[in-house]
Structure 1
């Protein structure tokens, strides 16, 4: 038998998700069988309802001696180069360098650096967590520099993910250094199809039935030096990169999309500004705040 107690980062999720996150090595068919055969109790009552919402302090018992809880391993990496732009009790904003992956099962990545920092500063205790894992709220491509948000607790993660999804509370601005100034200004609307075989995206003004809708706003930040400001409305993979290539002005250094390769393997793309607005929950203190990357383009 396994006994789990619901903590503040577990509360509010369904019983099924809670069980699935704790028993990562257990086949889903076995977990479903637990529900069917009354192997799960919450606060002493046998439960078959997968969608039961858990509350703080609930005691969950799983009657299966062969399945064990699989915790995240505490893997510490060197985080000395981690650039923290802002931090409070709910979130962390960091400056990602170029050529660093957000997440990787094999290499040092931004997620591991952030987790190592929070563990070392006693802000994240893996052993005390049942289901919550520190992770990024949104992604940047490996070659893109700039600002990334991390949530420190479940309630903030839910709020920030909702803000990213609904696009009305967090505005994400990018600076893009182009190879020329033929780009279209204003509202850019179209469709992107990403090819896994070619590892690149293709932008079109019309859908082919498989492509995904995308949108962004363009204005010059420094027209003399071909530096464009982009307000991202959607967030498709390689969105800014393939839209720039569509207008025959690929990003400086972006060899994959037609620009000459830079010797330092950098591309001229920085997620340079985040603007918070319209939060009505516990993150409302962020409304009106702007955060800027220290990266150069």
Structure 2
């Protein structure tokens, strides 16, 4: 487990794309429990360890995940994530097989989540039950066959990046659910939560945490070394 940042109130981890953030029906040990065990052992804490989960990233996605070590930090982080205010911002990297229509732009769609299929659908116009989804993207690298996009989320919808990129004809590498033709060898998708920047819930200073992409993946290593 790669710890990216740690203090008395928060801890951040670079999630592998095989990890789940919280427990689900698979019964697999979630990252939250691994972090609890780490804290318990490192600080020799008796009894249960408090750990709050203010946000999540999808299981097949890698990158920075932030946890709260105190209830005060959790309450304040929850508010930041829910309101998507200027105090917090998230940056993602995505590898896609098709060049987007423009090298940079803002995507605005109206999304509807299908809970049964665990999938979201994006529409150009507002529909009943839809939620507005906004994200910015720019092209920051390319190889012979693939393109690297940097993405800033302005809203937080279910599978938002995956769904919106698929909508413009650029499904993420390995993402079978949203139309990429082949899976990745590791079963994940080539979407990485690169950076999170926020006002610390207690110190009130800005904290920026960056996560290195999975360098055991040849393509990620190539892109990363050329940035």
> Over alpha carbons, which structure has the higher Rg?
1
Contact 1:178–1:249 (8 Å) recurs in 2: yes
Change in 2 beyond 3 A, CA 1:123/1:231:
farther
Does residue 199 of structure 2 align to residue 282 of structure 1? no
Partner-residue secondary structure (3-state), 2:32: helix
Partner-residue secondary structure (3-state), 2:22: coil
Contact 2:52–2:70 (8 Å) recurs in 1: no
Does residue 72 of structure 2 align to residue 155 of structure 1? yes
CA–CA distance in structure 1, aligned partners of residues 156 and 47 of structure 2: 30
Output the TM-score relative to the length of structure 2.
Answer: 0.84
Per-residue CA deviations over 1:105-150 (Å, capped at 9, x if unaligned) read 52111111111111222375545x8xxx412211100101000111
Contact 1:156–1:283 (8 Å) recurs in 2: no
Partner-residue secondary structure (3-state), 1:155: helix
Higher strand share: 2
Change in 2 beyond 3 A, CA 1:125/1:152:
farther
Q: CA deviation at 1:202?
A: 0.7
Equivalent in 189, 192, 195 of residue 108 of structure 2: 189
Show the counterpart of 1:136: 53
Show the counterpart of 1:98: 17
**Higher RCO (C-alpha 8 Å, min separation 6):** 2
CA–CA distance in structure 2, aligned partners of residues 96 and 218 of structure 1: 22
Does residue 212 of structure 2 align to residue 294 of structure 1? yes
CA RMSD of aligned residues (A): 1.9
Gaps of 5+ in 2: 215-219, 221-227
Show the counterpart of 1:115: 36
Contact 2:105–2:137 (8 Å) recurs in 1: yes
Show the counterpart of 1:32: none
1:1-297 alignment runs, 5 A limit: 82-104=1-23, 106-122=27-43, 125-126=46-47, 133-167=50-84, 168-184=86-102, 185-223=104-142, 225-259=146-180, 260-277=182-199, 282-285=202-205, 287=206, 289-296=207-214, 297=220
Partner-residue secondary structure (3-state), 1:284: coil
Q: CA deviation at 1:175?
A: 0.2
CA–CA distance in structure 2, aligned partners of residues 249 and 238 of structure 1: 14
Contact 2:165–2:171 (8 Å) recurs in 1: yes
Gaps of 5+ in 1: 1-81
Output the TM-score relative to the length of structure 1.
Answer: 0.65
Give the paired residue count.
208
